[in-house]
Amino acid sequence: MSRRLQGRAVVPGRAEGVALVCRQPLSLWGGFNPRTGEIVDRRHEQSGQVATGRVLVLPRTKGSSTGSACLLESIRSGTAPAAIITAEVDAIVALGSIVADELYGRCVPAVALDAEAFASLRDGDVIAVAPDGTVTIGEPPC
């Protein structure tokens, strides 16, 4: 059985993947390796996990606007998440994805959810993101 949440499409697009849920903010510059897609911040709860092709769920990014360049590089190199869901509109994510769309014709869809909807997402959920900001959560694979 699936359920739907309505979010705000910050960067419209369609994507699907298994959720990688972070309850802590993440710095894309210094905490995420754009060459491998790995979360490399050793103090982060998801340290060592690879976000490539997954739906990265995080409350927000933190740190420098250089994080946009790291997301941009991961999109260029094919190691980016399939989509990013945040608990608030995140300008760093939006900028990196929009610039990638302009430069490479590829973007990472980004959706902002309200706090209650965001809190309902679980690691391993199968998530589909639609261009209008609809987030559909399916059953995790067996």
Residue 3 pLDDT: 95
pTM flag (> 0.85): yes
Please tell us whether the domain made up of 3-138 is placed in CATH 3.40.640.10.
Answer: no
pLDDT in tens, 64-109: 889 999 999 999 999 999 999 999 999 999 999 999 999 999 999 9
Q: What is the DSSP secondary-structure string of 65-128? A: TTHHHHHHHHHHHT-S-SEEEESS--HHHHHHHHHHHHHHS----EEE--HHHHHT--TT-EEE
Active site residue ranges: 64
User: In angstroms, rounded to a whole number, what is the distance separating the alpha carbons of residues 60 and 89?
Assistant: 8
Beta pairing class for 38-39 and 32-33: antiparallel
In this prediction, residue 139 has a pLDDT band, given cuts at 50, 70 and 90, of low
In the chain, domain spans: 3-138
Tens of pLDDT, residue by residue over 8-46, are: 999 999 999 999 999 999 999 999 999 999 999 999 999
Q: What is the pLDDT of residues 114-132, one digit of tens each?
A: 999 999 999 999 999 999 9
